[in-house]
A and B are shown apart, each in its own frame.
Chain A
Amino acid sequence: MASVTELNNNHYVQWCPGCGDFGILIALKGALAKIGAEPHETVVVSGIGCAGKLPHYIKTYGFEGIHGRSLPAASAIHLANDRLHVVAVGGDGDGYGIGMGHFVHTMRRNLDFTYIVHNNEIYGLTTGQTSPTSKKGIKTKSTPNGAIEKEINPLLIALSAGATFVARGFSGDIPHLTGLIAEGISHRGIAIIDVLQPCVTWRKDLPYELYQKMIYKLDAEGHDPKNLESAMKKAQETSRWPIGVFYKEERPIYTDEIPFIKDKPLAKQEISNVDISKFVEEFL
């Protein structure tokens, strides 16, 4: 069972000073320590982007794939060895832009892993272009005259696609976020945690102070996370920004319907002597 310090490694962190990603990294380590995950039984999966570098800054197994594809990779690692803790991380461009096709389908599959989105409403690593969550009208390098498109609502999409754990956190509230991630990992099924994450370099118009002023905690106002209708309503709230668990549902997970991995995960099964006689018989 790992402590937070055991999850630290010595690599130089390449995020900008003050980046919201630090808060998410600290919360993820805290959450893994809290649930008692062993570092060697944990895989942190990412695509590409600022958030995509995270696997290098935590001492577990990591899989840093290609842009937008963290969810297929995480899905397959979970299916190949469902005894591992699998956590996918990535930014809003990675997950809600190029990876949106995978996002919708991963939400409906109810595989048992956790997805944390560093949502800063901007493309950071490519030096500041509009993102799918950037609000209409935003002026960026790629939209100097203001973005024409309306932004997407990832939580609403996750809820309508059938996700069984839907939450939003704030990278500036690490204890709260730690609790959310721990709850997400412990949840049996897919957990999506969208994290409001200030980008101190490209979104100076969205400083920590603004987030602190706008957010409130759902549980403090009596939101019932079993109520899908109410979760959908809360996901559409814009006058204030709710954080916490929007929706949580217990539903059989994908692997519940795969009987042959009950005793042994796929990757551990013996393959040196597969008897193909039954199949060969069909062609004799």
Chain B
Amino acid sequence: MQTINRVNFMVGGPAGTGVATVGTLFAKCLQRSGLEVYGTNDYPSLIKGGHNTYLVAAAPEPISAIVGKFDILIALDKTTVQLHAAELSECGAVIYDSNKAKDAETLVSRPDLVFIGAPLTKMAADAGGEIMFNTVAFGASMGLMQLDFAIIENMLNKIWARKGKKVADANVAAAKAGYEFSTAALKSPFKIKIEFIKREKTMFINGNEASVLGAISAGCKFVAEYPMSPSSSILHLMAGHERDYGIIVKQTEDEIAAANMIAAAGFAGARSMTATSGGGFSLMAEALGMMGIMEAPCVIFNSQRCGPSTGLPTYTEQADLLFSLHASQGEFPRVVVAPGDPLECYEESFNAFNLSEMVQTPVIVLLDKFLSETSLTVEDFRKLNLKVNRGKLMSDGQMEGSPGFKRHAFTEDGISPRCLPGQKNGLYVCSSYEHDETGYTSEDPHMRVSMIDKRAKKFSSIPAEMIAPTFYGAPDDQSQILLVCWGSTKLPALESLKLLSAQGIKVRMMHLRYASPFPSRAVLSALTRAKNTVIFEGNSEAQMRTLILQKTGYYIEKAYLRYDGRPFTPTEMAEHVKKLLNK
């Protein structure tokens, strides 16, 4: 019996052999076959020397993690076979270079496995260049599943179009050679088959890419950034598209410059952003407070990685939550939002630019290494039809008729109409000092209190539904337990819900995105209604639990924490929930 349209896949090899390229090709072919696809990179800790893997899961229904074993393994070196063969499912397949790992079959005692040993390098050379050995292997994996070769050909042509027809043709030939090799090598049909499903086109996109798209569609015009993993791909993507979308992308001398630049660009009227990770965000702390007191709109993406200090630079963590909420001296409003998947990255990135101008304050978007580099199939972002809202920004015409304009005027909602340099009647000093309504330095005690209160009041204009948590799984009255998570933990959590549901366990899940402003009422109401509650977080101190306690007075007793640099797996989450319920 063949399984149709459901597969787990792994490609592994030394860094620099195109592991991610093969993984992405594999994922995109399944996406273009109409499946839902999940793709992520992974760096096992047990090996030094740059052993990289890329993992893909595909299914007909939405999927947000890998559950179970792998059906196909592409091993770009012998080490990969040794390390990962045990993770293969019954009758799974290993594709390897027969000249490089001659004894692959003898390395593992798994008579059930299908070994596709092809002379990858030689076949690539015949197709036009040894460098395409990974494309041959990719083609072989597609041949196993008998995926329509036209889909593969179309995709390779699209990807290589920029390099010219010759390169595209060579890649198609390499993939074809692999495809035909595995087709011929199979003694009986492979256990998995991919059949094309007709549906509307989807996007296959990761958190960083979706954040960049959100920023660009929100009209971001200025990016200042200092490279730091895992945020650097945001800089690269922005720079790669600067001319297409008229964006000034400046690699700065440090993160201090980046933060000061985006504040000043925001003051001057350009939607602006930076992206960094914890170390760089630490350097931005002083400027963050400046943005607050200046009421300067700008957006900071912080893709968290393991700290403290250099920590584990390429591994994931959710440990900058409280730091993001409290970085910089003094008190001022800041928005902190942690999207949970690539679609939310797009939405919240777009919202961030709106909010920063509507509330005239900095917005921090908390990503993490896992979300930054994990791809999912999502609906075409253009269908979301989000609208730019520039808040109380004055036009040139409005300013012509505004003699005596006060940039920091006191208003009902604390938000003052905003002018830009270049406009008449608006002259003021945008100041890091406490100031009066005109921007002039003031140390008057009454003015001080009025200004602190004015800035704090601005959050009241953010609609409750925008910051509300999202609920998944069983309805309130039927659920046995409420699973609480935030940010990227949403991805494995959703899969754990499926596992539990299949075992008849009813779980309701509350996913938090906004940490500031905090949806206190909605969260408290959900917590008090739940029979049991558990919180899952990617840090060692249960930082969201602390925040929930601080904001609602409710203490979630049970916390399951992971801080080894890896994301949660759905299986461990489900097991933990079962343990709590004594099942």
Contacts and interface: CB of A to CB of B under 8 A. Distances in A.
Interface in A256-280: 258-261, 266-269, 271-274, 276-280
B240 to A, nearest CB: 10
Interface string B284-310: 001100100000000000000000000
A267 B270 CA distance: 4
Interface string A42-84: 0101001000010110011111111001011111110111011
B358 interface: no
Interface string B363-403: 00000000000000000111000011000000000000000
B264 A76 contact: yes
B388 A271 contact: yes
Interface stretch (B6-14, B53-61, B247-255): B247-255
Nearest to A81: B268
B475 interface: no
Given A69-B287, A72-B261, A276-B217, A61 B426 contact: yes
Given A66-B287, A76-B260, A260 B216 contact: no
B264 A259 contact: no
A41 interface: yes
Contacts of B543: none
A43 B269 CA distance: 13
Contacts of A258: 248
Contacts of B170: none
B529 to A, nearest CB: 39
B420 interface: yes
User: Which of A41, A62, A83, A84 is most buried by chain B, counting CB atoms within 10 A of its CB?
Assistant: A62
B228 to A, nearest CB: 17
Contacts of A276: 213, 216-217, 381-382
Contacts of B433: 64
Contacts of A261: 246, 248
Interface in B232-269: 241, 243-246, 248, 250, 252-254, 256-258, 260-265, 267-269
Contacts of B209: 283
Interface residues of A, number: 54
A101 B388 CA distance: 36
A271 to B, nearest CB: 3
B217 A77 contact: no
Contacts, number: 188
B261 A56 contact: no
Contacts of B222: 76, 79-80, 266
A11 interface: yes
A56 B217 CA distance: 37
A64 B382 contact: no
Given A56-B441, A101-B254, A105-B253, A269 B221 contact: yes
Contacts of A101: 253-254, 256-257
A84 B421 contact: yes
Given A280-B203, A284-B203, A66 B254 contact: no
A39 interface: yes
Given A65-B263, A277-B382, A283-B203, A266 B248 contact: yes
A271 B425 CA distance: 24
Contacts of B432: 48, 64-66
A267 B268 contact: yes
B205 A283 contact: yes
Contacts of B270: 79-81, 266-267
Given A62-B431, A69-B260, 20 more contacts: A11-B440, A41-B422, A55-B429, A56-B440, A61-B422, A61-B429, A62-B430, A63-B429, A64-B432, A65-B264, A66-B260, A72-B252, A80-B265, A101-B253, A266-B265, A271-B388, A274-B216, A274-B217, A276-B216, A283-B204
Interface of B: 201-205, 209, 213, 216-219, 221-222, 224, 241, 243-246, 248, 250, 252-254, 256-258, 260-265, 267-272, 286-287, 290, 380-382, 387-388, 420-433, 439-441
8 contacts: A40-B422, A40-B424, A40-B425, A41-B421, A62-B439, A69-B257, A81-B420, A267-B268
